[in-house]
Amino acid sequence: MTEHSLWRFSRAFHRAINERQPGDLEALLDEEVDWAIYGPIDMFPFFGSRRGKAAVIEVIRRIAENVRVHRFDRESIILGTDSASSMMRYSLTALDSNKPISLRVAHFAQFKAGRLSSIRVVLDTFDLVEQVLGRDINLPRITSFA
Amino acid sequence: MTEHSLWRFSRAFHRAINERQPGDLEALLDEEVDWAIYGPIDMFPFFGSRRGKAAVIEVIRRIAENVRVHRFDRESIILGTDSASSMMRYSLTALDSNKPISLRVAHFAQFKAGRLSSIRVVLDTFDLVEQVLGRDINLPRITSFA
């Protein structure tokens, strides 16, 4: 039984972030890879959509300039033949402020011939923004419950 | 081939929200169901964790008081034997303001004997908060890119 493409990708991704060594990762990206991390791009310019290997390597380089991964736990994972989704909890450090950030992340990935062809990432972005700002954003309570 | 538990659950869930008929859903929840929607509970008291069938039925009733589902598209889906994850895009209406809300949602569900035993939901919460407030929250740009 061969190893699922997710594991190889995950190792290369974390090495690209923490050791700033994107070499392994480059070989695991489809030329036409379709990449999206949904979130406020005004604050986090490395969020949003990217298309193609060069653009994805560049955005990963930018993420690596901003955070270091301390640990991650996969809380849920479902593997398909050429697909994988996980719900993960990341412990990060923001490199500019040295602040710890704890982040819940869901990703859906598609692989083609062992290479990442598509990934979509959803985060609890409000929680992230508050952690990075270092303060709560005042919110109204929207509902009037009986 | 029997239908995956996800489809039955999904139909019953949407019926519980839009028609306020939780009867079908009740039969599809494990007694000890473990439920979490990650997001700012100060603004959305129906987010957060719930444990057990009664608490989940109650939180769904509260969601149904606040939103109506217009449509949803499953953009990605991975089915396991007793598990399922999807990335979905919802078009909702907030019932108090009549405002349209567009929401990206990732869920991970576990089933036991055809009943939901665990679900975890991650949303792009910052985008949701801005839509419900009806204005942008001013954010600093955190990174200084070369």
pLDDT tens digits, one per residue of B42-101:
999 999 999 999 999 999 999 999 999 999 999 999 999 999 999 999 999 999 889 999
Q: Is the pLDDT of residue A146 over 80?
A: no
What is the residue type of B70? H
In sequence order, the β-bridge partners of residue A72 are: A90
Q: Give residue A14's pLDDT.
A: 95
- Is the Cβ pair A122, B126 closer than 8 Å? no
* Choice between A35 and A141, residue whose per-residue pLDDT is larger: A35
C-alpha distances in angstroms, A19 versus A11, A61, A109, B31, B40? 11, 10, 23, 46, 34
Global pTM? 0.92
Q: Give residue B139's pLDDT.
A: 82
The dihedral of CA A55, A61, A64, A66: what is its sign? negative
Q: Give residue A22's pLDDT.
A: 86
The mean pLDDT value of chain B amounts to 93
Q: Is the pLDDT of residue B128 over 90?
A: yes
* Choice between A96 and B38, residue whose per-residue pLDDT is larger: B38
How far is Cα B73 from Cα B102, in angstroms, rounded to an integer? 11
- Closest in B87, B106, B143 to A45, CB measured: B143
- Provide CB contacts within 8 A for B2, sequence distance 6+: none
In sequence order, the β-bridge partners of residue A79 are: A84
Residue entry with tokens 């310019």: A45
The average pLDDT across B16-41 equals: 94
CA distance A42 to chain B (A): 6
Reading across the β-sheet that carries A115-123, which strands appear in turn?
A: A48-51, A29-38, A115-123, A99-112, A83-94, A67-79
Q: Give residue B1's pLDDT.
A: 64
- For the stretch A63-90, pLDDT in tens is 999 999 999 999 999 999 999 999 999 9
What is the residue type of B126? F
Q: Kindly list the residues from chain A whose CB atom is less than 8 angstroms away from the CB atom of residue B129.
A: 126, 137, 139
How far is Cα B108 from Cα B28, in angstroms, rounded to an integer? 16
Size of interface A-B (CB pairs under 8 A): 145
Q: Give residue A50's pLDDT.
A: 98
Closest residue of chain B to A104, computed from CA coordinates: B122
What number of helices (H) and strands (E) belong to chain B?
A: 4, 6
List the single best residue of A74, A139, A141, A144 to mutate versus B (max B Cβ within 10 A). A139
Q: Kindly list the residues from chain B whose CB atom is less than 8 angstroms away from the CB atom of residue A65.
A: 143, 145
What ipTM does the predicted assembly reach? 0.91
